[in-house]
Amino acid sequence: MSDIFSNKRTLYIVIFMHTLFFALALMLLSYEHKKNLNNYLNDLYDTKYKIYMNQLKVLNQHTDLLKSLLVDEKVLKIIANAQRDFNGSREKLIKQLYPKYEILKKYGVYQFHFHLPGGISFVRFHHLDKFGEKLYPYRPSIKYVQTTLKPYHGFETGKMVSGFRNVYPLIYNGKLVGSMEISFSMKKLVQYIFEKEYLAMVVKKEILKNKLFPDAWSNYKVCKLNPNYYICGNICILFKHYHNIDFNQKANIVENKLVLSYPLYNVEKKHEGFMLSVIPLDKIETLNEINNSYNTLIIIVFLIYVFLLGVMLFLYNYSKMKRNSQIDYLTDILNRSGCLSKIKALDDYSVLVLDVDHFKQINDTYGHNVGDEILKRFVDVVRNTIRKNDIFCRWGGEEFVIILPDTDKETAKLVAEKIRKTVENTDFDNLKITVSIGVAQKEKNFNETFKIADMKLYEAKELGRNRVVA
């Protein structure tokens, strides 16, 4: 296994593939995390929406009950008479219902508004000084109710505030005499819909631009979450900075808070804004579990990556250390230890023992630096003469050993002779050197074989050097 990492280029390739694999693993984890997160947020969004709609239905039923209690024949008669006596009928209606409106305010009713046919504002109990204007251009719900004679429950902007309207037709003696609206305050809506969360409505700026009374702008602030909207509600205090989030995206995470956006449409199905529900992330246990699981997996994957990277670097250093212990530092071929480790895997072989003739004289005459260069050049010459699978090593000093796998003595002798002639005919920087070689075929073991080859080398030297003896 460690041999795989013995080459630095191979190590770099393995590390690159290792890093690429874990990068893909991180991408897959991120994809799964986003998918799980989106699935949960969609489920949460839908669940909250159902609660939101159910609570609004309950609120609508309450207003149905209030309408039936507040509007009796006397009230209807006063409104019916408004066409003949506008101001007198106003005074009578205010006297008749204002004490009841004072009680309604304690229970969250904010808007209590009567309109005459044609959408003319008759009495705003929440703003008695504002009346008489035609509301059809600004309040399509009133036009819808007075045209269809059907009640309307839904969102709509207005000249004072925006909110969920409950508008009812008023019929007296089989004839439309007007309409009335009962709407709850934002605070009451919060209590009814999401008790543990923060709720607000945001409205597009261009919708309110030419609609509001001048003194109604105090009911709106620029939304910190998106400056293109005005906000009704106090959720802005939850955010330190201004943002530009897309409310068309169902869920946004901003400053450690989840913002759910529910589109608001008026009676004409025109989009006017959003209902926002803001939930602190630390209040959503499932979301925290999803994020914690993801973070844990990321840490585990990172630790595995670092561990395996450490293993690879260890194997590389181990392989390098092992190789250095078996390689001759001068000639970059196997040393004696490396040679002996390679022989263990061989069954049949011949051994050549080589000795550079008169090498001591070269060292004494030209110095050890020249001698070292001669040895390195000698190794290159021999290495280019033998096969790639032959084992070539420096046994010590100027003595070398070559192992020829699956080679008999006669063939080994021919190889040795080829080496001898090549060395003899090679120019070693204007020096001529020769080599004596002893040859032996495998006996019982390597030690026995080596002794025979070494003895033959001795004979070659005795016979005058520069020769092969087998």
Cβ atoms 245, 226 nearer than 8 A: yes
Cβ atoms 311, 323 nearer than 8 A: no
Sheet holding 120-124, edge to edge: 120-124, 109-116, 175-184, 163-172, 152-156
Q: How far apart are CA 465 and CA 434, in angstroms?
A: 8
Bridge-based pairing state of the strands 109-116 and 175-184: antiparallel
Residues across the chain: 470
Q: Which of 258, 194, 248, 195 is nearest to 40 (CA)?
A: 258
Residue 2 pLDDT: 47
Cβ atoms 332, 393 nearer than 8 A: no
Neighbour count for residue 128 (Cβ, 10 Å): 12
Residue 417 pLDDT: 95
Three state DSSP letters for 14-29: HHHHHHHHHHHHHHHH
Which burial class, exposed, middle or buried, applies to 139 when counting CB atoms under 10 A from its CB (0-12, 13-18, 19+)? buried
CA distances in angstroms from 177 to 68, 122, 145, 168, listed in the order given? 16, 11, 12, 11
Tokens at 107, concatenated: 């229970």
Q: How far apart are CA 93 and CA 100, in angstroms?
A: 11
Phi, psi of 34 (to 5 degrees): -65, -40
Q: Which of 33, 468, 38, 469 is nearest to 253 (CA)?
A: 38
Contacts of 276 (CB under 8 A, 6+ apart): 199, 200, 201, 202, 225, 231, 233, 235, 247, 259, 260, 261, 262
Full-model pTM: 0.61
| Residues 240-253 as b or e (16 or more Cβ within 10 Å = b) | eeeeeeebeebbbe
Contacts of 436 (CB under 8 A, 6+ apart): 354, 355, 357, 457, 460, 461, 465, 466, 467, 468
Q: How far apart are CA 437 and CA 228, in angstroms?
A: 95
CATH number for the domain whose boundaries are 336-469: 3.30.70.270
Bridge-based pairing state of the strands 229-232 and 152-156: unpaired
* Successive 10-residue mean pLDDT values, the chain, 470 residues: 63 86 93 92 90 84 91 96 95 96 88 96 94 93 96 89 90 96 72 62 87 82 90 80 92 91 92 89 87 92 91 80 78 89 88 94 91 93 94 93 94 95 91 94 90 94 93
Q: How far is CA 445 from the centre of its chain?
A: 63
For the chain, the domains span: 185-283, 336-469
- The letter for the amino acid at 350 is S
Residue 410 pLDDT: 94
Cβ atoms 36, 290 nearer than 8 A: yes
